[in-house]
Amino acid sequence: MPNHPAMHPERLTLKTVAALAGVSTATADRVLNQRPGVRPITVQKVRQAAQALGYLPDALANAAPQSAPWKLAFVLPQGQNPYLRMLGDTIGFSESHQAPFNVKCQVEYVESFNPEALAATLLRLGKRVQGIAFMAIEHPAVREAVQQLADRGVPTLTVISDLDNSARIAYVGLDNRAAGRTAAYLLARFIGSQRRDAQIALIAGSRSYLAHEEREGGFLQLHAEQFPDMQILGLRESYDDASRNYQQTKELLQRHPHIAGIYNIGGSSDGVGRALQEAGREHQVALIGHGLTPDTRALLINGTMDAVITQSHLGIIMSCIRMFSNLRDQLDTMTAVDIVRSQIIFRENLP
């Protein structure tokens, strides 16, 4: 009988199986041809990946050596931030992506901007999970909790916002200083070279997030380097609350009627957009923010917002899962981990 590609699915999907399992093509080939020399946990990941792709019969997939899944917790702040709510939802909806790694993920929400509550939650979860990914708050209590978990053999990752000088194993998220510089460059270009003395305002969630502090620092650094004549009106903290963003923007427009641009360093840009729309300034004041969500998407479409700097929810989650899986399998932490990269979204390139 002549050979035909359809009769040899490995020619078509072996690389896909290997990519989904986070192993080399050679390792995937060894597992699927039942050759020795591969660790049981890796065999399980490859077979589960092959099953998820329809490459492997259920019976062979179920024959893979089973071990108890690692329990992983993602700790996120409560509140109105739409991007963080979407991140939590994505964790719950991504079981099919998690399956090849033999992990079980849960989401835990903690009171926003409360370092003591975050530290207590980390320590509590550390008694019943094998790994924790969390959005960090810069505070000694949080740093001490991470150290205690490390001493107990419970690895932690920081997501979106890092924790300086801590025992966490890695950070997953944007280069926030670069994101701030990018925002400053874009905002100045949107405002235009004819308005070199334009007024610009910054709104942050809180400086207790290292991410927000670094974005502010990057923004001010590029501003001083390239656009020193533009006037910065100072930073306001809104705690990622849409109503606070609305009120602070409303006051900014009243006190500074000639304001030309706003950089929302944190979340809940819908509050900023609502104030601009009520004042009839939505097409006069340039607005840049973070996180592509239904709210910011609508603001981009109607022209209230000019650009959104964002990062993939699923990319964050899968980078964390791969890192924890690598630790469990005694591999280098960054093996097969894709670096989370920023995306700049405009109305014209909305995904």
- Cα 278 → chain centroid: 31
126 HSE (CA, 13 A, CB side):
20
* Residue 43 and residue 141 share a domain: no
* 4 lies in some domain: no
Spatial separation of the C-alpha atoms in residues 97 and 111, rounded to whole Å: 28
State the DSSP H helix or E strand holding residue 307, giving kind and residue range, or none if neither: strand 307-310
pLDDT tens-digit profile of 277-318? Answer: 999 999 999 999 999 999 999 999 999 999 999 999 999 999
Number of structural domains found in the chain: 3
Closest CA to 14 of 64, 55, 62, 63: 55
Q: Given a cut of 50, is residue 168 above it in pLDDT?
A: yes
* 143 lies in some domain: yes
Mean pLDDT of the chain: 90
* Residue 152 and residue 83 share a domain: yes
* Residue 337 and residue 264 share a domain: no
% of the chain at pLDDT higher than 90: 73
Is residue 189 classed as helix, strand or coil in its secondary structure? helix
CATH number of the CATH domain containing 106: 3.40.50.2300
**DSSP code, position 169:** S
* Residue 148 and residue 97 share a domain: yes
pLDDT tens-digit profile of 193-240? Answer: 667 789 999 999 999 999 999 999 999 999 999 999 999 998 999 999
**Could you list the residue range(s) of the whole structural domain that residue 221 is in?**
176-311
Q: Given a cut of 90, is residue 51 above it in pLDDT?
A: no
* Residue 291 and residue 219 share a domain: yes
Model confidence at 175, pLDDT cuts 50, 70, 90, reads: very high
